[in-house]
Amino acid sequence: MNDVTRCRQRYNCLLSVLFKLFVPALLFLFAIVSVFIFHSLETGNNPELVSKKIQASGSVILLLSQFFMLIYFLWLKKADHLEYKDLGWQRDSGKNFYKNIMYGSISGIVIALLYIFLISDAIVLLQRKIGDYVSPGELFSAIGSDISIFFLANVVFAPFVEENIFRGFADFELRKYFSVPVRVLISCFYFGMLHWAGGFWYILATGIIAGTLFHGLFIFTRTIYASFAAHLVLNSIEFIYVISKL
């Protein structure tokens, strides 16, 4: 095999990895389309009624997208012959395990408080002053439409599924091509794109702030436990915040 062929194969493999990281954003779109088709059939294709039902189905869309991503993650793991230890779920000593959980939990609390008291208001301000493709302050009114389903989607499924894909899988594959800073940057980009339905500023906040923190914990601790704990704590506090807004 000559150098040109080897480089071409390496390039194609990299493109494959990058596309695989973009698929979750497409699965979210597929969840929206699935709900749209269901309500169209249910209402006899009444546009006004379909629109209202979709707006009230934010939690269902979230849960459906997480289910699709879970299936996709299991397929990725099997197709790439990965073990959970490859994704960062390796065995750890009791002392290190609890230390990593503590690091993650504290980080999750800090970023949740920052989001509630600073970032969420900043996003709304930017939406009003500069603009966005979603209306200001519309995000939580939609996803909180069914609180029990929102809990399943955002607290039960999301931390496990998203950490496995955007930290475990992403870092395992990207380390073959890039240094740590570039891996973090790419992971944050795709993690932000997963949240495209929240608007441009929400994509930036999720990708830059949450994504960098989660992947930083993953790199620093060399396990997925800390980033998973941070994600779980953040989403749990977010869930409580949504309840308080209802």
- How distant is the alpha carbon of residue 149 from its chain centre? 17
Q: List the end-to-end C-alpha distance of the chain, in Å, as a whole number.
A: 62
**Please, is 117 exposed, middle or buried when counting C-beta atoms within 10 Å of its C-beta (0-12, 13-18, 19+)?**
exposed
Q: How far apart are CA 98 and CA 177, in angstroms?
A: 32
**Please, is 79 exposed, middle or buried when counting C-beta atoms within 10 Å of its C-beta (0-12, 13-18, 19+)?**
exposed
Q: How far apart are CA 36 and CA 23, in angstroms?
A: 20
Tokens at 221, concatenated? 């601790």
Amino acid at position 74, single letter = L
Q: How far apart are CA 90 and CA 101, in angstroms?
A: 14
Can you give the pLDDT at residue 139?
62
Answer whether 212's CB lies under 8 Å from 231's CB.
no
Answer whether 66's CB lies under 8 Å from 150's CB.
no
Q: How far apart are CA 242 and CA 137, in angstroms?
A: 12
Can you give the pLDDT at residue 8?
77
The residue ranges of the chain whose pLDDT is under 70 are 1-4, 93, 138-145
Can you give the pLDDT at residue 243?
83
Q: How far apart are CA 134 and CA 127, in angstroms?
A: 8
Can you give the pLDDT at residue 141?
55
**pTM over 0.85, yes/no:** yes
Can you give the pLDDT at residue 56?
79
Q: Output DSSP code: residue 15.
A: H
Can you give the pLDDT at residue 106?
97
Can you give the pLDDT at residue 88?
95
Nearest one of 224, 132, 145, 161 to 23, comparing CA atoms: 161
Answer whether 103's CB lies under 8 Å from 217's CB.
yes
